[in-house]
Chains A and B, each alone.
Chain A
Amino acid sequence: MMIDAEQTILDQVRGVLARLFEIDPARIEPSSKLYEDLDIDSLDAIDLMIELKELTGRKVRPEQFKHVRTVGDVVTAVRKLVQDEDAA
């Protein structure tokens, strides 16, 4: 169940990264580093957060993404975002 949810989020994040930054989805793995492997800079990160906000319909605060380094970290952050809001 959890695995499915993560897989779905990963697919969505992949879609967002491909659309926003013209990155080949095949290059996007959970272990891919945003900065080093996918060439996403600090300005891109802002666009990414705006996009994730639209995707999840949740409020996104920069501190929730402070420690995000890899695609897997993005997935975890998005899952937390959705869960926290559901719990609240």
Chain B
Amino acid sequence: MDTTGLRSAARIDDRSPPGVALDRWWRVCATGFCFLSFGVGGTLLSFTMFPLLRLAAGSSTNARPLIRRALRASFRFFIGMMRMVGVLTYEVRNGDRLLAPGQLIVANHPTLLDIVFLLSLIPDATCVVKRGLWRNPFLRWPVAWAGYIPNSECESLVADSAATLRNGHSLVMFPEGSRTTPGQPMALKRGAAQVALASGAPVLPVTISCVPLSLTKTNPWYRVPSRPMHYTITAHPVLAATHCDRRLRAPVAARRLTRELAGLLAPESRPSSL
């Protein structure tokens, strides 16, 4: 661990009252504890609960909903733990919109915990995850058993994603591809729009905000903000099916839908940090 970073994270302004410094130190330790628990807990579950569920289910098709439910419960537990130790608070707006099956859920991706939040809120959800996870000895089996989809640049990603949606499962995608680079304009890839067009699934835009912004691509976990992070997860109305205009050629339709999504997912005038 980078101890200089740790020290600077907890570095205190001479004028700040001792309570503030203590609170910050507490959150550095609590955040570390939570991430450690995530790693250790995840590894343990990968060798115990997940293989047992997989065996009990018999076929891989039967196993998928069970594994997803177990993952959802684990993520819910993790978020609950982070809230309990005082690292974060959160609110979900129009959360009932997330419950309908077979939706393509597209969200902006400011922080490390976005997918944990979304998978804890959406039943029977799958997601597109980094291909690298399939080489991780601890995570490869759970992600494969849950039917998560490895990202790639080719057509198979679109075909696999569309098939999952047509089977009535919800799918989470971050059209940005990876976390937003702070201070830079949001850039969307067209993959999510292509999946929407190929599947004809309802598209549900979700915006995620974290104030003060932390756990970004450029901000290490131990550099905790001045006060606990507050997450707001907002489910917007399902997109009107204008993008399904069959008279439009696929490449044009994908470009238009991507532009529409960019407008919907762009962060409003949020304070970047405090």
Contacts and interface: CB of A to CB of B under 8 A. Distances in A.
Interface of A: 20-22, 41-44, 46-47
Given A43-B158, A43-B194, A20 B153 contact: no
B190 interface: yes
Interface string B226-261: 000000000000000000000001111011000000
**Closest 4 interchain pairs by CB?**
A44-B251, A47-B251, A21-B251, A20-B251
Interface in B101-132: none
B190 A41 contact: yes
A63 B144 CA distance: 33
Interface string B204-221: 000000000000000000
Contacts, number: 26
Given A41-B190, A43-B194, A22 B252 contact: yes
- Name, among A21, A42, A43, the residue most crowded by chain B CB atoms within 10 Å (CB to CB): A43
B274 interface: no
Chief secondary structure at chain A's binding surface: helix
A20 B254 CA distance: 11
B150 to A, nearest CB: 16
A20 B248 CA distance: 10
A24 B250 CA distance: 18
A46 B250 CA distance: 11
5 contacts: A20-B251, A20-B252, A41-B190, A42-B154, A43-B254
B248 to A, nearest CB: 10
Contacts of A42: 153-155
Contacts of B155: 42-43, 46
Interface in B137-156: 153-155
Interface string B184-203: 00000110001000000000
Contacts of B154: 42
Contacts of A21: 251-252, 255
Contacts of B254: 43
B247 to A, nearest CB: 13
A35 to B, nearest CB: 10
Contacts of B190: 41, 43
B249 A47 contact: yes
B250 A22 contact: no
Contacts of A20: 249, 251-252
A46 B249 CA distance: 13
Contacts of B251: 20-21, 43-44, 47
Nearest to A51: B249
Contacts of A22: 252, 255
Given A20-B251, A21-B251, A42-B153, 12 more contacts: A21-B255, A22-B252, A41-B189, A41-B190, A42-B154, A42-B155, A43-B190, A43-B194, A43-B251, A43-B254, A44-B251, A47-B250
B258 to A, nearest CB: 10
A72 B189 CA distance: 25
Nearest to B250: A47
